[in-house]
Structure 1
Amino acid sequence: MLEAGVEWNVVTYTALIDGLCDAERMQEAEELFNKMVAAGVVPNLASYNALIHGFVKVKNMERALELLNELKGRGIKPDLLLYGTFIWGLCGVEKIEAAKVVMKEMQEDGIKVNTLFYTTLMDAYFKSGNPTEGLHLLEEMLKFDIDVTVVTFCVLIDGLCKNKLVSKAIDYFGRMSEEFGLQANAAVYTAMIDGLCKENQVDAATSLFEQMAQDGLVPDRTAYTSLMDGNLKQGNVLEALALRDKMDEIGIKLDLLAYTSLVWGLSQCNQLQKARSFLEEMIGEGIVPDEVLCVSVLKKHYELGCVEEAVELQGYLMKHQLLTSDKNNALPDM
């Protein structure tokens, strides 16, 4: 690069370090960082930002923390971006309390905590199974007049539903528009629909699904899959198949989860021919069903006395290498 007339300065080094970090080539990135220092080029905030972001990306928070302390030792103050990267990384490895400590340090450095930081921490608490702390963060946001956004509500409602607090989620879903003046987006609706279906409140989920369309929002594959799964668990085969037909009509392709819900649900509703048809369609699309699904469908055939069909299906699954010998031996004798 020197021969090409490019000067090796902090900007040049940082750009190269950033590129290596984006490619997760951390050993090379750190070697170049050390080479920069050895050459007498003093790293700046951008240099540390790039390297720390790289280590956060590969979940090496220990090295990221060492670099953060090194940066402070050089008298460089971390900025909003660096603190955000660090807190996001700590939440990603479930070190939420450590993330709160860093957030406190950030405030002590005179950097205002914004919506993104609170929402990131809230998401981490819900995912770790601690909805109480997640809700406490919402109270803090309101107390300190920090904007609560649609994204915040999406995290909140999804987190409450996944922690089986659907009634609370319904309450916040209502408050979102009534109290905060925010319009739910497709992600918020989908989280609520999924939560209701998992609590067997399929009628309420269907009403929300229809309300989405009235609000000009298009349900995605996740929303369709959740409602299809919920209907099948209630034995509503026709409703589930109508949803599948609608997906086909508007060009939404089924994925592994959608096919699994459909095949398993139909077999549990004793709709073996339809379950078999969708299982074959799934395989034909190049989507590989797991062995648990295959065995459950087979066992349902035997359970209902459809031995001939079971034997034929068993051979089909073995031909496609979807049954191991162990699972095959666990099935009834042919």
Structure 2
Amino acid sequence: MSVKWPRFLIPTQLSQMIRTQKNPLTALKIFNEAKSKFPNYRHNGPVYATMINVLGSSGRIAEMREVIDQMKQDSCECKDSVFSSVMKTYARAGMVDEAVSLFKTLPQFNCVNWTGSFNTLLRILVKESKLETACRLFLEHSCGWEVKSRIGSLNLLMDALCQINRSDLALHVFQEMRYQCCSPDKESYRILMRGLCEDGRLNEATHLLYSMFWRISQKGGGEDIAAYRTLLDALCDNGHVEEALEILGKVLKKGLKAPKRCRGHLDLSYCCNGEDIERTKGLINEALIRGGVPSMASYSAMAIDLYSERKIGEANQVLDEMRDRGFKPSLSIYEAKIAALCRCGGVEEAVKVIKEEMVEDSCVPTVRLYNIVLKGLCREGKSAFAVGYLEKMARQVGCVADKETYSILVDGLCCDGRFVEASGILERMLIRSSSPGVETYNTLIRGLCLMGRQYDAVIWLEEMVVQGKLPAVSVWDSLVASVCSNMTEAGVCSETLEKLWSS
């Protein structure tokens, strides 16, 4: 390995040198040699963060753990985001217990704020259905001075409890918030309201709504409209239409602070018979929009909430009403709409939204939005069509395809058996200094072997090894089987395979 060292080394230079290395083990060697070549040099937090991130993203867990231990011994100041990243790496590798152990050793590091890693670990535990461990972790560490904000953690726990139909326990968490020196926010009310309604606990949900009037909606916040709609819909679904209409009046007056002139124009006579529940719910939703003071916040909350429930028709009506009132749909609304369309198999319609609706509303698509569409297209086996969006993104100012974009396309093409096209996209990905995961390489190499393209397969195997990634055993099996079935190329490939195997 030939490295051009500067005359004087500073941490910023070393971070750059590490990031430019293809092979994480080469980067680690440079990292370790720096101290011996420059006796007065000391690694700082950002350098450690760079090295840990490089090793973690390439799956080098053992080496990453050694660097973490070295960072602890150096006692240099490090950011909480480093530990959050490491915990995510452990989770991807199925090593949740390691993530918990790391968090418990944080007092041994020079890190004064653990809020991010605390919340990250809670999310991991909830996702892995380790709810008891998550609750125990919260009780043990939430009151420490290192965790600056507890509301996000409490919301996370409430959401997890509601997802397993234990809104009764979520309600206890909500009521304990004041003992944790924090007040519930809009998200707290939204999570708990939905959980209570889904569990049929309508009395508790109604009391929760009334508490919103004086705790969070003093000024008639439009974002609260999603929580109000959740309760009113649930009441209608359970046959309590009259109670829903009574509460609607209170919502308009006390929750949304709607003036009398707005409330007076509402015609809810069709709701009284309660025979057509869906029409009644539609009228109530319309009343929430038209009866209050028009605002971007209320329209956005209602539209996004409806799209998340895949009620695309009703959400589209909100967008029409929004435009009639002089408001233009935001990017977040379009993201919710396109995600809903893709989930419901309407990818072509989602593409049309980008081409027509967003252009009319002067809303510029982002990489995140394009990635949603690309996932939908690849899910429907239209990966070849999805590739065309790379050119469209390249022509759009400020919209550069990222690692996720290329990974979606490579995986999608491989799933469709288009391994040659996937190779081309992967080449473009590497040019931009991004690299896919190990499984993407494994899938591509196996696919090329099935097509009889042994030479291409070996080229990608070499690239994989250069990057320090370890091929799966099935990759070697595929290569051997492919080479043996084509004796013409056996002489060309066998020598290379022997070299790779020995490396």
Q: TM-score, normalised by structure 1?
A: 0.60
Q: Which residue of the partner structure matches residue 306 of structure 2?
A: 258
Over residues 225-257 of structure 1, what are the superposed CA-to-partner deviations in whole Å (9 max), with x where a residue is unaligned?
745764565447534543355357332235566
1:246 is matched with which residue: 288, 304, 329? 288
Change over 3 Å in CA distance of 1:207–1:236 after alignment to 2: farther
Task: Please state how far the C-alpha of 1:172 moved relative to its aligned partner.
Answer: 1.7
Change over 3 Å in CA distance of 1:231–1:50 after alignment to 2: farther
Number of aligned residue pairs: 272
CA contact (8 A) 1:126 1:160 kept: no
Over residues 243-281 of structure 1, what are the superposed CA-to-partner deviations in whole Å (9 max), with x where a residue is unaligned?
3553573322355661363748xxxxxxxxx86985996
Change over 3 Å in CA distance of 1:213–1:262 after alignment to 2: farther
- 1:209 and 1:92 map into 2 onto residues whose CA distance is 39
Task: Please state how far the C-alpha of 1:125 moved relative to its aligned partner.
Answer: 1.8
Task: Please state how far the C-alpha of 1:293 moved relative to its aligned partner.
Answer: 7.9
Q: Which residue of the partner structure matches residue 214 of structure 2?
A: 214
Change over 3 Å in CA distance of 1:99–1:247 after alignment to 2: farther
Please list, as runs of the form range in 1=range in 2, the aligned pairs for 1:104-115 lying within 5 A after superposition.
104-107=104-107, 114=114
Segment drifting more, 118-127 vs 69-78: 69-78
Determine helix, strand or coil for the equivalent of 1:44: coil
Q: Which residue of the partner structure matches residue 63 of structure 2?
A: 66
Asked if 1:27 corresponds to 2:22, the answer is yes
CA contact (8 A) 2:158 2:173 kept: yes
CA contact (8 A) 2:78 2:111 kept: yes
Over residues 191-241 of structure 1, what are the superposed CA-to-partner deviations in whole Å (9 max), with x where a residue is unaligned?
111212322334543543443342234335764674576456544753454
One-letter code aligned to 1:259: Y
One-letter code aligned to 2:216: G
Please list, as runs of the form range in 1=range in 2, the aligned pairs for 1:1-334 lying within 5 A after superposition.
9-14=9-14, 16=16, 27=22, 40=37, 44-46=43-45, 47-53=47-53, 56=56, 58=57, 60=58, 62-63=59-60, 65-70=62-67, 72=69, 76-77=74-75, 81=79, 82-91=82-91, 95-107=95-107, 114=114, 116-141=116-141, 149-177=150-178, 179-202=179-202, 204-217=204-217, 218=221, 219=223, 223=227, 226-227=230-231, 230=234, 233-234=237-238, 235=277, 237-239=279-281, 241-247=283-289, 249-251=294-296, 252-253=299-300, 255=303, 258-259=306-307, 261=309, 263=311, 278=317, 287-288=337-338, 289-290=341-342, 292=344
One-letter code aligned to 1:102: L
Q: Which protein shows a greater Rg?
A: 2
Change over 3 Å in CA distance of 1:277–1:115 after alignment to 2: closer
Task: Please state how far the C-alpha of 1:155 moved relative to its aligned partner.
Answer: 2.0
Q: TM-score, normalised by structure 2?
A: 0.42
- 2:134 and 2:91 map into 1 onto residues whose CA distance is 13
One-letter code aligned to 1:187: E
Change over 3 Å in CA distance of 1:104–1:231 after alignment to 2: same
- 1:279 and 1:257 map into 2 onto residues whose CA distance is 11
CA contact (8 A) 1:53 1:85 kept: yes
The gaps in structure 2 that reach 5 residues or longer are: 1-5, 239-276, 324-328, 347-379, 381-503
CA contact (8 A) 2:53 2:85 kept: yes
Change over 3 Å in CA distance of 1:78–1:145 after alignment to 2: closer
Change over 3 Å in CA distance of 1:98–1:244 after alignment to 2: farther
One-letter code aligned to 2:150: T
- 1:27 and 1:263 map into 2 onto residues whose CA distance is 46
- 1:144 and 1:216 map into 2 onto residues whose CA distance is 27
